[in-house]
Structure 1
C-alpha cells in the first residue's frame, strides 16, 4: 500500500523545490535568501543547485508546475506574495494534480491496484478560506505598492489618513476586510505605509464599504481620499458616478439612502460635519480597480 502523500513527498517536493531554488537564484537571491524563502537549509539549497537531488521529469515539464514556479518566484522576490500564500497556492496545485491528474497517474504507477478503481479519490477542497484570505491580502498589498508610486497621490490623503481596503467575498464584519494597519499617511509629500495588510484593522473605511455592500453595491474594495468640490468634479468628468451621504447620520443608514438612487455609484462622499473631516470614498471591484480610479484623477 502506498499513499499519494508519499508520491508528493518523494516525487513532487524534491522536483518543485529544485525548480523554485533555481528560479530564485536566477532572480539574484543568495543561497541564504533562497533557504529562508523556501524554509529549508542552505545545504539543501546547495544540493538542489548542483543537481544532487533526483527529480521527476514528468513533474518538471508540466506546464502548470512551470507556470506556478515562475509566478511564485516573482511574487516572493517582489514581496507581493507572502510565504503563506505561496504555500497555499502550491497546496492547491497539488490537490488538483491528485484528482485524476499527474500525481494520480504517478500514484497508480507506484501502486497498480489503484488503476482498477473507478470513481474519484479526491477528498480535498482547493477553495479554502485561507487561500481566499491570502489572495485578498495580496491584492491590497499590490494596490498599496502602486499607490506609493503614483505621483500626486500623497496630496489626496486626508488629515485622518487614507486606507485601502478589500473584503472577502462573503464579508459581514470588519474582521472580514483586509486593510493597512494604522492608515496611509502623507509624510512630507510621500505616501507612507506603516505595515503589511491585515484583517480587522480598519474600522471606518471598512464600515463604509460594508454599508455599501449591505445596500446592494457589489464593490469589494474602497479607498478614502480628501474631499473638495474640484475633486468630485474631476471624478465625474472622468466618467465616475458620485453620490453624497450625510456624515453625521448612522453610516449604514446614510450610505443606504445615498445609494438608493444610484446603487452602482463609483464614489461616495460627505462634506463634513461637527468634528468630522469631509472625505471621498472610492469604490471598486478590487484594490486594483480602486487604484485605477486614483490614476485617472491625479
Structure 2
C-alpha cells in the first residue's frame, strides 16, 4: 500500500501546474520574468521554463474550468495591483479546499493511494469524525454484500433486465443521498454477476426509496436489494417462513405507498414484491438490517428457488 498525504498531491501535482499557469498569465500582462519570479516566489530560471512551456502541466488541473478562471483572476489582480499576495494566497487556498472536497485533488489522491478508491473519502474536508466513519462502514457493507452476490451462482438467474442494486442506509437516513448503492447497477453477463463500480451514496433511487420506507416503519431495516419476481422465488420465501408482501408497481408515490403497506401489515416483512405494470418489470425486494443481511437472505432464497425449479 502506498501511504500518501493529500498535502503531497498539492505540492507535487497542483502547485507546479498552478505556478506555470500563473506565470503564463502574468507574462500576458507584460510583466518581466524577474517580476513574475518575485510574485511567485521562484527563480527567474523557473519562470523562463514556465513561459517557454517547458514545464509539464497536470491536465487534471490545467484543463479544469475553475482552475483556469482562478489563475486568470489571480494574475489579473496581481498585475493590476487589485490583489496583494495575501489575497492571492487566500484565493489559492479556497481553490485547494474546493478541489479536496471530492474534486481533482481528491481524484489525484485516490489515484496515488488506490486503497481510498470507492470510499467516498472526504477526510481532508471533515476530518476523522463519527459521520465519516459511519459512511465508511456503510460503503464497506455494500461492498461485502456484492461479494456475497458474486459468490452465489443462483443469483444470476434472478437478476432482472433492469439490473440489480443493493444498498445500505446511514443511521437516521432521510433521502437517497443517505443510501449507498452501486452506480450503474449489477447485471448478469455470461453467466456471472458484473459489479461495474464501487458503491457511492445516492447511486440508487428505487432501492433507496424501499429502504427509506421500510426504516420509517422498522428502524432495524437498513438494507435491501432487488431481484426479478418469480413464483419460484416467492415459494422459496414461503418455505423460509416469510410471508411476502405484495405492493403496487406505481413509481410516482412509491415511498409513501410502501410505507402505508408496511403500516397496514403491522411491520416490514423481509420480502416484498410487485408483479409489474405496463413498461415496468416485476420486481422483488429482499430486505435486511444491512445490505449484507439482505444479500445473505437473497442468496439463500435464490438457491432454494433454483433447486425447486429443477425438481
SS in 1 for 2:136: helix
1:88 positional shift? 10
- Retained in 1: the 8 A contact 2:154–2:299? no
Larger Rg: 2
Q: Distance in 1 between matches of 2:245 and 2:296?
A: 19
1:39 matched to 2:41? no
SS in 2 for 1:273: coil
Match of 1:279 among 283, 286, 310: 283
* Residue in 2 that maps onto 1:243: 245
Q: Over aligned residue pairs, what C-alpha RMSD do you find?
A: 3.0
SS in 2 for 1:160: coil
Q: Distance in 2 between matches of 1:241 and 1:223?
A: 17
* Residue in 1 that maps onto 2:261: 258
Gaps of 5+ in 1: 1-33, 41-80, 90-124
* Residue in 1 that maps onto 2:70: none
SS in 2 for 1:162: coil
* Residue in 2 that maps onto 1:170: 172
* Residue in 1 that maps onto 2:199: 197
Q: Distance in 2 between matches of 1:138 and 1:157?
A: 22
Q: In the TM superposition, what whole-angstrom CA distance separates every residue of 1:226-248 from its partner, at most 9, and x where no partner exists?
A: 00122111112112231011112
Q: Could you state the TM-score of these two structures normalised by the residue count of structure 2?
A: 0.56
Gaps of 5+ in 2: 6-114, 304-311
* Residue in 2 that maps onto 1:292: 296
Report the number of matched residues: 192
Q: In the TM superposition, what whole-angstrom CA distance separates every residue of 1:164-219 from its partner, at most 9, and x where no partner exists?
A: 10000010010000000000001122110110000011111111211222234531
Q: Distance in 1 between matches of 2:142 and 2:248?
A: 28
* Residue in 1 that maps onto 2:181: 179
